[in-house]
Amino acid sequence: MPLLELRNLYKSFGGLQAISNVSLTVEEGEIVSIIGPNGAGKSTLFNLITGVYKPDRGDIFFEGQRINGLSPDQVTKRGIARTFQNLRLFTHLTVLENVLIPQHHRLKSGWLGAVLRTPAYLREEEKMREVALEKLSFFGPRLMSFRLHQPVYVLSYANRRRTEMARAMATGAKLLLLDEPSAGMNPKETKEITQIIRRFRDEGGYTIVLVEHKMNLVGEISDRVVVLDYGEKIAEGNYHDVVNDPKVIEAYLGRREE
Amino acid sequence: MMRNHLLTLATVGLVTLGLYLLTQMDGTSGLLSALRLIFIWGIAAISLNLINGQLGILSLGHHGFMLVGGYVTALLMLPEKERRPFRTRLLSDWARDNLDLDKWLRGLGLDFIANSIDLKFIIALFIAGLAAALLGVLVGAPSLRLKGDYLAIVTFGFGEIIRLLPNAPEVAAFTNGPLGIKGIPGDAGTIWWTFFAFLFVLWFFTRLKFSSYGRAFEGIREDEIAAEAMGVNLAYHKVLAFTISAFFAGVAGGLYASYLQSVDTQTFNFFVTFFLLVAISLGGLGSITGAVIGTAVVVLVRNYGGFLEQPYPAWVGYLSGALLMLGAFAFSAYIRKTRRLRPVIETKHYIFGAIGLALLLVTVFFRNEPWMTQTVQFFGMRKILLAVILILIMIYRREGVMGRAEFSWKLIFGPREDIPSEEQRKQDAWLSNPELNPGASETKEDDDASA
């Protein structure tokens, strides 16, 4: 059973067919990249999976269960977490708080228990803190010491991206949807993020779907590449086959006039 | 940790002792009633702050919830003889005669509670809170799907509807219509219950803010879409915060009704919400400490600003104007001289100071002229003073006195965890600087990486 399965998805905005007849399966432990020119529907696909939009037609299955029609928070509870193309961190909260909030949905204590600080609540809080530190330690010591207690708005751009990934991991998801994880990073940081994404899979056991424009990052880590153009899937396969596919070249570069 | 708890306990003990001494002294009734108002409005401001500050939703219907709390407390506490003059129409006399906590308690055989007006008052306050909370759910559940200005308008509308309902003949059996309820026993409303309620509210909201639920609320404030994508159930948390806030607004309303010993629809008009909004914006949206500070400033200006509205000879006005201008000039000159970047006093500052000086000289030279010695009186100076304070806060410290921060012993005595030690700073520089740390990333620089 595939971890994530999209069957014949359709989505239109008014007259614009943003996604048409896209099917895709993601097996557990895979890294799948979705590429395509601007406006190809990559982000729309993410929004459909995470429940921000409802598909017009078609079904989304996660671990064999149908998840289309669920709200974003319910989708996250099932085990899909995402990052955003333009960072959407809780800017005025500290790094630690940013990584604690995604664990809130697993809290069993009610609000009264939380106010009374019942032993059960305190245990859960302690557990949440441990998980948060564990997820942040994926990025080495740079977010660990005093940075934990600093508000996000003082962090550098790269550190914010790292915080956002740690936040997505902290939801307890199995599947991470990364929307341009290396946007705004310099080549060196891109290298580092490439290694980290691989470590997510190898050490963290996450399955990863990412949207990315930097081709050498895609080529380096993807098990499979899916190409979208005008909302349709035009190619799928390993990196080398896909980039040499004439349809893909046409989508990116256009056709030569005969 | 231990030390901070002890400090908190000691502070509470000292404040309680001080309050006790105040109640024993003569001539402190004015101060005590100001303190009571600070506590009552403080409770209301802290509860409004949960929605407007922590959840980041503009709600303008708080006076409605306070009114419900006020009326419910009034009705439950009202003695038998005060109920007689109520006019009743559609609802029978039954409602008027039986909505009485005293009767309920005696009916349950709990005479010992019914005999103690203090216990009765607490129970009435609790029921008042529950009634307001119920209304909070009813108002919040349908309207909280809206955002921003739209929600503000809807909550304002609901608040006004709730406020005008007691005037309707259909509910006059409960509320005595526009005449309002008078003769609420005031003896249960001594400063102590207000003070303890205030302490409880401080404790409750601080605990809530620094719990997982408080973090979820702040996450919603920072970014709703991200919070939802991170698994926070928006509808549940918004309605939860709204309900808790409405509960304590009801409690504050009950306390205020018992402070005034009367309640009618004008007691809780829109200016109540407006006043609370001023208080929390002044203190800092999202900060409990700030809400208390803001309320204290507003109440103190309103209670003790009376001297500003007394009749004075005109030269007092000119003189204070001149001194204010000179003081402002001296202050800004000092600030500008001591600052590191470009320590210049600009021409406009000198002009401002010169006008102040000229005004001072005019006052001194013409002090015996009739236009200097005539008596003038400015009504509304207190409101102007409040407005000026608010303007200054908005210009120089837009996030309010406290911003989003809370008072804590850690802030004063340390240790501050967010400020790096010298060692941590070095380590951080080492981590992020490739020249100091060539081995940080095993791969070499590759300029084509972003091709």
> Which pLDDT band, with edges at 50, 70 and 90, does B361 fall under?
very high
Q: Do B421 and A146 touch (CB under 8 A)?
A: yes
In a domain, B409, yes or no: no
pLDDT, average across residues B239-265: 93
| Residue of chain B whose alpha carbon sits nearest to that of A95 | B418
In a domain, B81, yes or no: yes
Q: Do B441 and A142 touch (CB under 8 A)?
A: no
Element (DSSP H or E) covering residue A96: helix A95-100
Question: Chain A contacts of B441, Cβ < 8 Å?
Answer: 188, 191-192
pLDDT, average across residues A233-257: 85
Q: Is A117 helix (H, G, I), strand (E, B) or coil?
A: coil
Q: Nearest CA of chain B to the CA of A77: how many Å?
A: 6
Q: Spell out the domain ranges in chain A.
A: 4-79+173-253
In a domain, B341, yes or no: yes
Q: Which two tokens stand for residue B398?
A: 């837009």
Q: What is the pLDDT of residue B88?
A: 57
Q: Which residues pair with B326 in a beta bridge?
A: none
In a domain, B2, yes or no: no
> Is the same domain home to B70 and B108?
yes
ipTM of the complex: 0.91
In a domain, B441, yes or no: no
Q: Nearest CA of chain B to the CA of A115: how many Å?
A: 5
Q: Do B431 and A142 touch (CB under 8 A)?
A: yes
Q: What is the pLDDT of residue A184?
A: 81
Domain boundary among B352, B376, B400: B376
> Is the same domain home to B234 and B366?
no
CB A207 within 8 A of CB A175: yes
In a domain, B448, yes or no: no
Mutation choice for B interface testing from A49, A52, A53, A73 by most B CBs within 10 A = A73
Q: What is the pLDDT of residue B450?
A: 39
> Is the same domain home to B215 and B270?
yes
Euclidean distance between CA atoms B41 and B239, whole angstroms: 23
Locate all alpha helices (DSSP H) within chain A, ordered by sequence. 42-49, 72-78, 95-100, 111-116, 119-136, 157-170, 187-202, 215-221, 239-243, 246-253
> Is the same domain home to B358 and B317?
yes
In a domain, B403, yes or no: no
> Is the same domain home to B48 and B143?
yes
The domain total for chain B is: 2
Q: What is the pLDDT of residue B442?
A: 43
Q: What is the pLDDT of residue B145?
A: 84
pLDDT digits (tens, 9 = 90+) for A132-162: 999 998 887 778 888 888 999 999 888 898 8
B448 and A CB contact within 8 Å = yes
Write the CATH number for B298: 1.10.3470
Query: Is pLDDT of B415 > 80?
Result: no
pLDDT digits (tens, 9 = 90+) for A227-237: 999 889 998 99
pLDDT digits (tens, 9 = 90+) for B293-342: 999 999 999 888 888 888 888 888 889 999 999 999 999 888 888 887 78
Q: Do B233 and A101 touch (CB under 8 A)?
A: no
| Residue of chain A whose alpha carbon sits nearest to that of B222 | A90
A54 and B CB contact within 8 Å = no
Q: What is the pLDDT of residue B396?
A: 85
Contacts of B168 by beta carbon, 8 Å cutoff, 6+ apart: none
Distances (CA, A) of B31 to B22, B304, B373: 9, 9, 34
Question: Chain A contacts of B420, Cβ < 8 Å?
Answer: 145-146
Which residues constitute the domain of residue B270?
25-307
Mean pLDDT, chain B, rounded, equals: 85
Q: What is the pLDDT of residue B352?
A: 92
> Is the same domain home to B369 and B282?
no
Domain boundary among B307, B322, B340: B307
> Is the same domain home to B246 and B360?
no
Q: Nearest CA of chain B to the CA of A55: how many Å?
A: 17
pLDDT digits (tens, 9 = 90+) for B114-157: 777 888 888 889 999 999 999 999 999 888 888 888 999 999 99
The label of the residue with tokens 């990333």 reads B441
> Is the same domain home to B280 and B187?
yes
Mutation choice for B interface testing from A80, A95, A96, A111 by most B CBs within 10 A = A111
Locate all alpha helices (DSSP H) within A139-245, ordered by sequence. 157-170, 187-202, 215-221, 239-243
> Is the same domain home to B261 and B338?
no
Residue type, B38: I
Instruction: Name the residue with higher pLDDT: B380 or B441.
Output: B380
Count of A–B CB contacts within 8 Å?
A: 154
Q: Nearest CA of chain B to the CA of A157: how many Å?
A: 12
Element (DSSP H or E) covering residue B39: helix B29-49
Q: What is the pLDDT of residue B89?
A: 53
A104 and B CB contact within 8 Å = yes
Q: What is the pLDDT of residue B418?
A: 77
Element (DSSP H or E) covering residue A148: none
Q: Do A214 and B449 touch (CB under 8 A)?
A: yes
> Is the same domain home to B235 and B323?
no
Q: Do A107 and B212 touch (CB under 8 A)?
A: yes
Radius of gyration of chain A (CA): 19
> Is the same domain home to B363 and B257?
no
CB A227 within 8 A of CB A22: no
Architecture of the domain spanning A4-79+173-253: 3-Layer(aba) Sandwich (3.40)
Q: Nearest CA of chain A to the CA of B404: how many Å?
A: 9
In a domain, B386, yes or no: no
Residue type, A90: F
> Is the same domain home to B238 and B337?
no
